[in-house]
A and B are shown apart, each in its own frame.
Chain A
Amino acid sequence: MQDNVHHHDPARDGSSDATPGGMPDKRRPGELTFTVLLVVFSGALLWNAYGISGFEALSGAGSVPMATAAVMLVSALVVLWQTAKRARTEDETVMQDITPPLVIIFALFLVAYGILLRPLGFLPTSALFLIASIKLLSKRGWGFTLAVSLGSLILIYLVFRIVFTVLMPAGIVPEAEMLQLFRNLFSGGA
């Protein structure tokens, strides 16, 4: 699957505020659409901000939201103008460089994780997610995939559930009963 990922200049992908990515003199694929979406979004936000308190008072609840949305709209329009002026880069395509299949698949995996987390519970959902993604990315055998996925899941569970006491949805796994069983075993042995 990763063979579909095209290798371009990594400097185009932002890694920090010192190197925010993009291309200064060319337009990357999809950039114009993204900028148009930003303009539309900023416009909608400005309309909504106007509805908060209109121009009734400078100290009104809507004054900062209105000013902010106006700044967003103006800057998005400037970016749109600058983006439209630049010639499109010829060595990149959306499907290879911006949203390769792997990225789309992972975005879908994440959405599926979010949907399944509550009904299934943390342990089964995470196990499914890790197994599917490690298998897909590593292209290794099932033995490696299952060992690494389940091993890491147990480690994460022990660290975050037991040490950090983070509560995660139990779902279909009788987690509380299992933990109690372990506690009884240890206290029984003591």
Chain B
Amino acid sequence: MDAFMAFLTVFTQPELLLLVGLGTFAGVYVGAIPGLSVTMAVSILISFTFSWDVLPAISLMIGIYMGGVYGGSRTAILLNIPGAPSAIATAMDGYPMAQRGEAGEAIGTTTVMSFFGGLVGIVVLALLAPVVSDFALTFQPRDYMLIAILGILLVGSLSSGSLVKGIFAGAFGIAIGAVGMDPLTFTERFTFDIPLMRGGINFIAVMIGMFGVSEALMQLHHVDTPAIRQKISRIVPSFGTIRKHLPLSLQTSTLGVLIGALPGTGGDIAALMAYDHAKRVTKKPSRPFGEGAIEGLVAPETANNAAVGGAFIPMMTLGIPGDAVTAIMIGALFIHGLNPGPMLMVEQPDMFWFVVGALVTANFFMLLFGLTGIKLFTRIVEMPRPVLIPLILLLSIVGAYAVNTSITDVYWMLGFGIVGYFMRHYGYPLGPVILGVILSRLLDDNWRRAIISEREDLGRFFHGIVTSPLSLTLLVAVILIFVSQTPLWTRFRKKETTAK
């Protein structure tokens, strides 16, 4: 009953309901405006809400997250510019539909399908998280260490870029997280004898720099791209369309929630993999893929919203973020004195059920806002970049400063913004950096705990891994991910395919 009451908290407190609604509304627009990503919005927002109570802060962030993942599809369909990375696949068939004058139908279908996918993700989260959490209580420190490594490696391997750049980015993040005083021995680490660095680097400054500043600087390349206006007709899709695509949407939602649940992988990767899945399983698409196939919209849109629920599973049960946004939310929970992980589920299950309730509410708000207010939407999205870019930069600065009222954080943020800008240009994924920063402490603490418990003996440590089914599975997964990305393996696979 307690769980049920916690679930209903959002519905019974008008302030929270309003914040979820406001967040979702803002999220739809933030997601829709090219150059404003959800990760960026949430990372800037966290610095403004950290003085709030935890429930209102989380309500607002969940709304923005759910709305933002959906919102990107709007501009993908109307302008062929994915408003958010999770809508990259949506543009492939959504824009051709808009060119045929079917923008309304495309938007309506994506809205309903996003709602469906979101709901599947939340149901799986509600059913699976308590089980995973119970299981996680049996994890050894070495398992946490391996999960952290697995999470960082997965981002690199599932992204379309090079694994080695992903590994570099992840290790860079871990190094950033290690800066400051070692909490166990009070030894200085990576401080270069600079007193300012003893306090460590604020991870919010890193996030705002990497996602906010670098994105705004990137947008300077496209500053003179004019806004394109579109006419939109009927929006609510027919029941027949929805029913026809229900089997596919169920498959891609499941895929989405599973990918979302893998530590470090988010809606953008889920959407691309679902699109690929739809191409393989759909025998007779409504039109060829890439030319306006409705299946090409259904698959990524269900998957990216299902991934939202999925991303909360490792976050709530293991304290390991499912994607960049949940990484930021973990930060928010830390700031509010909560410690996400299996103990949170045991000691404060109310928090978990509150999150589930807020996600359900945000999903319904998303459906509501998605099917209405289209005229207002087109106006806001047409906001010119010459105004938008300076505002993003100003908000980033204010956000970084507000966390500790520290000018040093602003400098860190600017520095990481510039580094992130070059990393984007040269194909380094940014997600692993943030994951690395967040997981640095977990990795460090658990490695040291594990090796101390094995009396500093590496042989005993590896023996412990190979004799525990869970640790062994995790180690094999780490090795497989690594090996599957090496040129040797690629050559072997090529040979296999040619032989067949």
Bound: A78/B394 CA distance, A: 38
Are B430 and A45 touching (Cβ within 8 A)?
A: no
8 Å CB contact of A21 from B48, B164, B427 = B427
Interface membership of B380, Cβ < 8 A: no
Interface membership of B99, Cβ < 8 A: no
Are B424 and A20 touching (Cβ within 8 A)?
A: yes
Interface membership of A120, Cβ < 8 A: no
27 residue pairs bridging A and B, Cβ less than 8 Å apart: A2-B224, A14-B427, A17-B431, A19-B85, A20-B161, A20-B165, A20-B427, A21-B426, A30-B425, A34-B422, A45-B190, A48-B190, A61-B182, A64-B440, A64-B447, A64-B448, A65-B189, A75-B164, A79-B162, A79-B165, A106-B217, A114-B397, A114-B407, A122-B398, A126-B394, A166-B47, A168-B401
8 Å CB contact of B268 from A18, A49, A164 = A18
Chain A nearest CB, measured from B251 CB (Å): 20
- Interface 1/0s, chain A 159-180, versus B by CB < 8 A? 0100011111000000000000
Counting from the closest, the 9 A-B pairs by CB-CB distance are A22-B427, A16-B85, A137-B386, A14-B424, A138-B386, A20-B161, A133-B390, A61-B182, A75-B168
Are A18 and B213 touching (Cβ within 8 A)?
A: no
CB-based nearest B residue for A14: B424
CB-based nearest A residue for B487: A82
Bound: A48/B190 CA distance, A: 6
8 Å CB contact of A13 from B51, B218, B385 = B218
Bound: A139/B224 CA distance, A: 11
Are A57 and B174 touching (Cβ within 8 A)?
A: no
Are B414 and A166 touching (Cβ within 8 A)?
A: no
Interface membership of B185, Cβ < 8 A: yes
Interface membership of B272, Cβ < 8 A: yes
Bound: A69/B190 CA distance, A: 10
Interface membership of A59, Cβ < 8 A: yes
Are A18 and B410 touching (Cβ within 8 A)?
A: no
Are A59 and B456 touching (Cβ within 8 A)?
A: yes
Q: Known interface pairs A16-B88, A61-B184. Does A166 touch B394 (Cβ–Cβ under 8 Å)?
A: no
The A110-137 residues at the B interface (CB cut-off 8 A) are 110-111, 113-114, 117-118, 122, 126, 129-130, 133-134, 137
8 Å CB contact of B168 from A59, A76, A97 = A76
Interface size class of B (residues with CB under 8 A): 35 or more
Bound: A121/B411 CA distance, A: 16
Q: Please give, as numbers and ranges, the residues of chain A lying within 8 Å of B426 by CB-CB distance.
A: 21-22, 28, 31, 34-35
Residue numbers of B with Cβ under 8 A of A are 37, 47-49, 51, 82, 85-86, 88, 155, 158-162, 164-165, 167-168, 171-172, 174-175, 178, 182, 184-185, 187-190, 192, 213, 217-218, 220-224, 265-266, 268-269, 271-272, 324, 384-387, 389-391, 393-395, 397-398, 401-402, 405, 407, 410-411, 414, 417-418, 421-432, 440, 443-444, 447-448, 451-452, 456, 458
Chain A nearest CB, measured from B223 CB (Å): 5
Chain A contact residues, majority secondary structure: helix
- The number of A-B residue pairs with CB atoms under 8 Å apart is 246
- Interface 1/0s, chain A 49-72, versus B by CB < 8 A? 100110001111111110011011
Interface membership of A181, Cβ < 8 A: no
Are A57 and B185 touching (Cβ within 8 A)?
A: no
Q: Please give, as numbers and ranges, the residues of chain B lying within 8 Å of A64 by CB-CB distance.
A: 174, 178, 440, 443-444, 447-448
Q: Please give, as numbers and ranges, the residues of chain B lying within 8 Å of A60 by CB-CB distance.
A: 185
CB-based nearest B residue for A164: B48
Interface membership of A38, Cβ < 8 A: yes
Are B451 and A68 touching (Cβ within 8 A)?
A: no
8 Å CB contact of B223 from A5, A12, A164 = A5
Chain B nearest CB, measured from A64 CB (Å): 4
Chain B nearest CB, measured from A25 CB (Å): 11
Bound: A50/B85 CA distance, A: 39
CB-based nearest B residue for A105: B220
Chain B nearest CB, measured from A126 CB (Å): 6
Q: Please give, as numbers and ranges, the residues of chain A lying within 8 Å of B192 by CB-CB distance.
A: 48
Are A58 and B451 touching (Cβ within 8 A)?
A: yes
CB-based nearest B residue for A161: B398
Are B431 and A106 touching (Cβ within 8 A)?
A: no
Q: Please give, as numbers and ranges, the residues of chain B lying within 8 Å of A114 by CB-CB distance.
A: 397, 407, 410-411, 414
Chain B nearest CB, measured from A89 CB (Å): 12
Bound: A156/B456 CA distance, A: 54
8 Å CB contact of A79 from B158, B164, B411, B424 = B164
CB-based nearest A residue for B427: A22
Interface membership of A152, Cβ < 8 A: yes
Bound: A98/B218 CA distance, A: 9
Bound: A23/B182 CA distance, A: 39
Chain A nearest CB, measured from B146 CB (Å): 14
Q: Please give, as numbers and ranges, the residues of chain B lying within 8 Å of A75 by CB-CB distance.
A: 164-165, 167-168, 171
Chain B nearest CB, measured from A118 CB (Å): 6
Are B171 and A65 touching (Cβ within 8 A)?
A: no
Q: Known interface pairs A57-B456, A69-B175, A166-B402. Does A134 touch B85 (Cβ–Cβ under 8 Å)?
A: no
- Interface 1/0s, chain A 69-98, versus B by CB < 8 A? 101100110110010000000000000011
Are B266 and A17 touching (Cβ within 8 A)?
A: yes
Q: Please give, as numbers and ranges, the residues of chain A lying within 8 Å of B155 by CB-CB distance.
A: 17
* 14 further contact pairs, Cβ within 8 A, besides A103-B221, A137-B389: A15-B88, A18-B160, A20-B161, A21-B424, A35-B426, A48-B192, A57-B456, A65-B189, A79-B168, A103-B220, A110-B417, A130-B394, A138-B384, A168-B398
Chain A nearest CB, measured from B149 CB (Å): 10
Q: Please give, as numbers and ranges, the residues of chain A lying within 8 Å of B86 by CB-CB distance.
A: 16
